[in-house]
Amino acid sequence: MQTRPLKTDGLTQQILEAGTGPLVLLIHGFPELGISWRAQVEALAAAGYHAVAPDMRGYGGTDKPAGADNYTALHLVGDMVDLVRALGATECVVVGHDWGAPIAWHCALLRPDLFRAVAGLSVPFQPRRPGGPPTPAMAVLSKRAGLGDLYINRLQAPDAHLAFDADPATALRKMFWSYDGATSDADQSTGFLPPGVSMLEQVPDRATLPPWMSPEHFADYVAAFTAGGFEGPVNWYRAMDLNWSLTAFLQGRMIHPPALFIVGERDPVRHYSGAHEAGMADWLTDLRDRTVIPGAGHWIQQERPDAVNAALLSFLDAVSAQRGSKS
């Protein structure tokens, strides 16, 4: 594996890559980096693929434009289109985890000519819904159910990133621990916050690193977020309502490339994305498989690398074989 900067039309992106062959892009989520895909980059490269995991816009070694209006889904899909071109490819398979999953889904939705297959981890495809932007609707539903505030609504505040910036090591440790499959039900986050309690205050100070996270790996995260801050990553959340306003042209549109969904059985995100997970087949016309990994939490490609690698390689090999038979 090597790490290098790559200049694209829109910005300079830092990528982790290995292997030669058909291109596979691996898109990380919050609060992660391209290094969260190390096990997949290694396995895919060994299997004959060119595996590339970028630090996404706002993260790590990639440029960090100012302002939430520079972090829309259209910008992020555009970054991936630029990256494919800069890598000298004309098509690829795109895989996304957490926030990377919606970007991967939208890559396949907007450019099925370029992104020939798609896999989403942890976060199912969520189609644009009529009736207004998402965050006000989330706030109403949370209040009606008596669940408190969904953390996504709290992150809309212009100063929401400052609490993370104040102590990146503690913030990262608490977030990784509270969404991990090894953490008890009582300590896992539900995504909902009581009035007056912040996202980090809700997680007890006794939170430790998850079993899969070595001190050396964690140090890489802490160094990157200490240097780059959390404002860019949080801007992905702040652009959600803008995304809705910019994507009216996608209303009712389905995803047609071959698709795969992988989720951890104990992923806390399922508390607020379960309905979308159950309805994915209505929107993905070629959903090949929906894999639930027993006992796994949210950081699935790091918690259960062997299971994720097996599912991805089976999907990739089947897609490649099908395309070969048609050519």
DSSP letter at 298?
S
Q: Are residues 195 and 63 in the same domain?
A: no
Catalytic site residue from 28, 75, 106, 298: 298
Predicted confidence (pLDDT) at residue 50 exceeds the cutoff of 70: yes
Q: Are residues 244 and 124 in the same domain?
A: yes
Q: Please tell me the predicted confidence (pLDDT) of residue 272.
A: 81
Rg (CA), the chain: 19
Q: Please tell me the predicted confidence (pLDDT) of residue 227.
A: 98
Task: Please give the average per-residue pLDDT across 297-321, as a whole number.
Answer: 96
Q: Are residues 81 and 94 in the same domain?
A: yes
Query: 170 is written with which tokens?
Result: 């503690």
21 three-state secondary structure: coil
Confidence of residue 178 (pLDDT cuts 50, 70, 90): very high
Predicted confidence (pLDDT) at residue 327 exceeds the cutoff of 60: no
Q: Please tell me the predicted confidence (pLDDT) of residue 276.
A: 84
Predicted confidence (pLDDT) at residue 32 exceeds the cutoff of 70: yes
Q: Domain range holding 109?
A: 2-129+239-326
Instruction: Give the CATH number for residue 306.
Output: 3.40.50.1820
Query: 263 is written with which tokens?
Result: 């989720």
Show Cβ contacts of residue 33 under 8 Å, excluding neighbours closer than 6 positions.
55, 59, 60, 220, 221, 224
Domain boundary among 193, 214, 238: 238
Domain boundary among 238, 253, 285: 238
Q: Please tell me the predicted confidence (pLDDT) of residue 41.
A: 98
Q: Please tell me the predicted confidence (pLDDT) of residue 140.
A: 86
Q: Are residues 280 and 163 in the same domain?
A: no
User: pLDDT by residue (tens digit) across 66-98?
Assistant: 999 999 999 999 999 999 999 999 999 999 999
Q: Are residues 117 and 11 in the same domain?
A: yes
CB distance 163 to 200 below 8 Å = yes
Lowest mean pLDDT among 12-16, 279-283, 305-309, 320-324: 320-324
Catalytic site residue from 63, 98, 149, 180: 98
Q: Are residues 143 and 202 in the same domain?
A: yes
Confidence of residue 48 (pLDDT cuts 50, 70, 90): very high
Predicted confidence (pLDDT) at residue 281 exceeds the cutoff of 50: yes
User: pLDDT by residue (tens digit) across 121-131?
Assistant: 999 999 999 98
| Residue that is written with structure tokens 């795109």 in the block | 94
Task: Please give the average per-residue pLDDT across 157-177, as a whole number.
Answer: 97
Number of structural domains found in the chain:
2
| Helices and strands (H, E) in the chain, number of each type | 13, 10
Q: Give the whole-number percent of the chain exceeding pLDDT 70.
A: 99
Q: Are residues 41 and 103 in the same domain?
A: yes
- 98 in catalytic set: yes
Query: 32 is written with which tokens?
Result: 């992660």
- 167 in catalytic set: no
The winner for highest mean pLDDT among 118-127, 131-140, 314-323 is: 118-127
Confidence of residue 326 (pLDDT cuts 50, 70, 90): very low
Q: Are residues 212 and 291 in the same domain?
A: no
Q: Are residues 104 and 244 in the same domain?
A: yes
Considering the entire predicted model, what is its pTM? 0.96
More confident residue, 171 or 196: 171
Q: Are residues 97 and 154 in the same domain?
A: no
Domain boundary among 203, 220, 238: 238
Q: Are residues 190 and 244 in the same domain?
A: no
Predicted confidence (pLDDT) at residue 214 exceeds the cutoff of 90: yes
Q: Are residues 6 and 125 in the same domain?
A: yes
